[in-house]
Amino acid sequence: MSAVHLLYSLAFALALLLSAPWWLLQMLRAQKYRAGLSERLGRVPARLARAAAGSRTVWVHAVSVGEVLAVSRLVEELRREFDAVYVSTTTATGQKLARERFGEHCVFYFPLDLGFAVRAYLRAIGPQLVVLAETEFWPNFLRRAKKSGAKVAVVNARISDRSLPGYRRHGWFIRPVLQNVDLFLAQTEEDAGRLRAIGAPQGRVHVGGNLKYDVRAPEAPGIEALRRAVKELPREHVIVAGSTVEGEEELVLEAFREVRARHPRALLVLAPRHPERFPRVTTLLEQSDLPWIRRSDRPQRLGGGVLLLDSIGELAAVYAIAAIAFVGGSLAPRGGHNILEPAQHGAAVLTGPHNENFRDLVADFERAEAVRIVSAEALGATILALIADSAAREALGRNAKAAFAAKSGATERTREALRALLRPQPGVADESDATAEARA
């Protein structure tokens, strides 16, 4: 173990110890902090199908809902080539969606970055390939995965404006960690340059594209019922505000009041980003002067007002009923959220000015006249203008759908790169003994 990893392991263990009272309090307060605790501590769940001796296996890690959606097609492709593909997540919402998508028998909570917890899963799964979505640089996990004999790849990688200064500031620490990754597939050339700048080995960094361009929203079980519920409304009056965060719902509701003053039958589907905020948004709606109903109430018919989308994993499909879609996390300074989900359905896409986490994607859409960036003050007026101007609204949606289609292909490029990574290299000794570290 290097000095850097030893220092990290001691600091991580100490941080867990000192923060234990806080975590215990949170576990008493909220179920999400208790979810998967034993799995996070290295107890391999009985439901997890153990890898047969000699089988070819892959471990894919996707932090939360967004990453699970991004890798969903890649997981399907890998399942055609490997005996077993296991998927881990960090969040409870990601875990729920992953189990629905891939089956409980192969999905589990990502272990804490402690040697014994990581080792338990490496022994149980014995992966030949470990794939991490976006930027999950856990030092102990990467070191032990590499020493187990697995090839390690980071796919759909991006370095946000917010995280870049921290990585640069701690380059002395992050560089040795990144040496354990065999392949980085960045979303864009800028992301690739940033990876190299923070210490990723030059020859291991390539551009694979954004996997989210290849994700097609599945039909959610209740989407047909929702379509029937809104069928009597003019489509241009159906607005979806997705992935809203703290401080944004008030702004969106204020804009919607402007819309309802002109169009009383207008419907706003409001989808908060984090499920734990559903009660807070419910209180906000109760205190408002707007008619509203919960999605969980399974309304049979919807008129004007607000539908609170208090469900998980439905938003991508619900965008299909929208004429106009606002993507949140962008009026508040949170870096924005994924505009591709409404774009693939041909909705007229709006987003706020804070899109640092999706800078290149939004810039591409701007150049294609496929998205409009609006301030909180202009949101209501912009929606009203798009309702009134069907040609402008339909052109914006059409351009969004075309921009989405033009960027596809990242899944195939990623699959080919992973194949090449596992291909034996002439003159290079075989390092596939997956038991070396497990016995250490």
Residues labelled as active-site residues: 67
**Environment class of residue 185 by beta-carbon count within 10 Å: exposed (0-12), middle (13-18) or buried (19+)?**
buried
CA-nearest of 137, 183, 185, 135 to 160 is 135
Q: How many CB atoms lie within 10 A of CB 58?
A: 26
DSSP per-residue letters across 381-437: HHHHHHHH-HHHHHHHHHHHHHHHHHT--HHHHHHHHHHHHHSPPTT------TTHH
Contacts of 199 by beta carbon, 8 Å cutoff, 6+ apart: 171, 174, 175, 178
Q: How far apart are CA 287 and CA 143, in angstroms?
A: 52
Residue 217 dihedral angles phi and psi, to the nearest 5°: -60, 125
Residue 439 C-alpha from the chain's centroid: 34
Q: How far apart are CA 354 and CA 329, in angstroms?
A: 7
Contacts of 114 by beta carbon, 8 Å cutoff, 6+ apart: 9, 12, 13, 41, 42, 140
Cα-based distances in Å from 95 to 88, 107, 364, 418: 8, 7, 31, 24
Residue 7 C-alpha from the chain's centroid: 30
Q: How far apart are CA 353 and CA 375, in angstroms?
A: 7
What is the gyration radius of the CA atoms in the chain, in angstroms?
A: 23
Q: How far apart are CA 141 and CA 118, in angstroms?
A: 6
CA-nearest of 217, 232, 427, 242 to 324 is 242
The b/e string for 149-180 (b: 16+ C-beta within 10 A; e otherwise) is bbbbbbbbbbbbeeeeeebeeeeeebebbbbb
